[in-house]
Structure 1
Amino acid sequence: MDDLDRRLIAALRIEGRASLSALAKLLGVSRGTVQNRLDRMIAAEVILGFTVRVKDAATKSRIRAIMMIEVSGKNTKRVAQSLRGLPQIHALHSTNGAFDLVAEIAVEDLSEFDRVLSSVRVIDGVARTETSLLLAPA
């Protein structure tokens, strides 16, 4: 990837539905160049797909949180597999530092939030968790 590829990806992150012509004008290149760059990055799996961003208030899940999870021993793979089975966990990432995994949680209400926390904490191999509710965007 070169600078033009990175600028193209940045533009798509801002407006994923931008037309090829609009992207070409923004980047100062031809429409064909944009199309060729997109085709190449899609074929190389640099771009895995396009998605939609939804206004937080429009989504069903109103309560969102980040949970840091410390795993005991060599159980990370098994714990991650168990966590992926919980529909309230929308993303799961491995990380470094004191915690091994970071889970993004989205639920409708506090009672469901409490159930999710309890479900995670009883997974064999989960040593410790720390959870923060996501409040207003900064």
Structure 2
Amino acid sequence: MSKIDEMDYTILSFLQEDGKKSYTEIAKELNVSEGTVRTRINRMLKDNVFEFIIHMNPNKIGLNVQVIIGISTKLGYQESIARELNRFSEVRFVGAFSGQHDLIMQAYFKNNDDLVHFVNKELAKIEGIISADVNIELKQYKDSFSYITK
């Protein structure tokens, strides 16, 4: 992987601000050629520095219940449980953490009934789960994928 330099960070900053900004517009603001911007973006995409995604508002598409679930696992089961959780379309994030829970996941559901079904029917089937600490989001104050500060 190539090293990220100041121009790369600036390009990422422009894309972070407006993912639809054209390479030509970015090039003009940086006083470089459009080809330079295109080459750098393609290199960063190839090196998995970032990816273009659509970040949706879950509430606007009918996913009204967001949860964070802390899962305690039996020793030796963490990896297999994480793989199982990855199969569910409702699950947006799964990570291994130090602390009280072995795995923490984030998921979205249409309603509380779907959440209850997921916990009592789907999670209950996964071998190695000791407990699941379900935390429902009451109010969101920030939701960002922004990692670059100006």
TM-score interval (norm. to shorter): 0.7 to 0.9
What's the C-alpha RMSD, in Å, of the aligned pairs?
Answer: 2.0
- 1:116 aligns with 118
Match of 1:80 among 74, 79, 82: 82
Given candidates 113, 116, 140, the residue that maps to 1:137 is: 140
Contact 2:91/2:106 (<8 A) preserved:
yes
TM-score by length of 2: 0.77
Cα displacement (A) at 1:73: 0.3
Q: How many residues align?
A: 136
- Post-superposition Cα deviations, 1:26-63, rounded to whole Å, max 9, x if no partner, equal 5x34233321210211232323x311122333213121
TM-score (norm 1): 0.83
Matched, 1:20 2:17: no
Whole-angstrom CA distance in 1 between matches of 2:67 and 2:73: 19
CA 1:37–1:70 in structure 2 vs 1: closer, same or farther (change >3 Å)? same
Preserved contact between residue 58 and residue 108 of structure 2 (Cα < 8 Å): no
Q: List gaps (5 residues or longer) in structure 1.
A: none
What is the aligned partner in structure 1 of residue 64 from structure 2? 62
Runs of 4+ residues over 3 Å off in structure 1: none
| Cα displacement string for residues 4-33 of structure 1 (whole angstroms, at most 9, x for unaligned residues) | 22232233233211111332345x342333
Instruction: Describe the shift of the 1:131–1:23 C-alpha distance in structure 2 as closer, same or farther (beyond 3 A).
Output: farther
Amino acid at match of 1:66: I
Task: Name 2:11's counterpart in structure 1.
Answer: 8
The one of 116, 119, 125 equivalent to 2:128 is 125
Sequence identity percentage: 18
Partner of 1:90: 92
Structure 2: which 5+ runs fail to align?
Answer: 142-150
Distance across 2 between alignment mates of 1:131 and 1:14: 33
Relative to 1, partners in 2 of residues 1:133 and 1:22: Cα closer, same or farther, differing over 3 Å?
farther
* Corresponding residue for residue 103 of structure 1: 105
